Amino acid sequence: MAWDVLNVIAVAAFAFSGAIVALSERYDIFGTFILGIATPFAGGIIRNIALDVPVVHVWEQSSLLWVAVITISIVYVFPKSWVMFWDRWNVYLDAVGLSAFALQGAAFAVENGFPFGGILFAAILTGVGGGVTRDVLAQRRPMVLHQEIYAVWALVAGLSVAGGLIDLASTWQTYGLFILVIGCRVTSYHLGWHLRFRDLYRL
């Protein structure tokens, strides 16, 4: 049940984010739906390809596809002023998607018997893949390439699961890590944390 809820939250958040970005870039209805659908599902596809796992099951999640389509449809009828407002707050939607999909990626790797490195890899690819795809299609600089910390929080989720610090069978531990990763991502954004090690030499 916990994973069903997290998957719905993640798909809705990334579909919302992708649609908002598309509309802010003046995409038409076709482009909006393409970007809105690509954002929540691209990470899983990239992960499966990289781990040599069939990708067909990603498209067998018809209920989640409907969640994305309904979310995009709602966003598409938003007044323009609402679109611009939500575009400014997109970092929060992205943080929700990043956290949920990083956890989902780690759980996928555990379920399929991948070792420590595979769990980390799956968490990172699933967490950041959708956001990177969204930004590339929208011709924006991907957040993962920014100076602020982004992919590190997907890595934290993967390490917590791979290292046995979090038991994914526990609903409370799963949701606790989900909220923690969101909090870390939002905090790092607002405080301007970054990985520019070269700046340390200037101190």
pLDDT at 102: 93
pLDDT at 200: 42
Residue 3: is it exposed, middle or buried by C-beta count within 10 angstroms (0-12/13-18/19+)?
middle
Token look-up 């659908």 returns 37
Helices (H), 51-115: 62-76, 80-88, 90-111
pLDDT tens series, the chain, 203 aa: 567 788 888 899 889 989 988 888 889 999 999 999 999 999 889 898 888 888 877 677 778 899 999 999 998 888 877 777 777 777 888 888 899 999 999 999 999 889 999 999 999 999 998 888 988 888 888 877 765 678 889 999 999 999 989 888 888 999 999 999 999 999 988 887 776 655 444 44
pLDDT at 142: 81
pLDDT at 177: 93
Residue 12 contacts residue 37 (beta carbons within 8 Å)? no
What gap in Å lies between CA 129 and CA 20, rounded to an integer?
18
pLDDT at 68: 93
Could you tell me the sign of the dihedral formed by the alpha carbons of 159, 150, 52, 2, in that order?
Answer: positive
pLDDT at 201: 45
pLDDT at 139: 85
Predicted structure pTM score: 0.83
Q: pLDDT tens digit string along 86-123?
A: 777 778 888 888 999 999 999 999 998 899 999 999 99
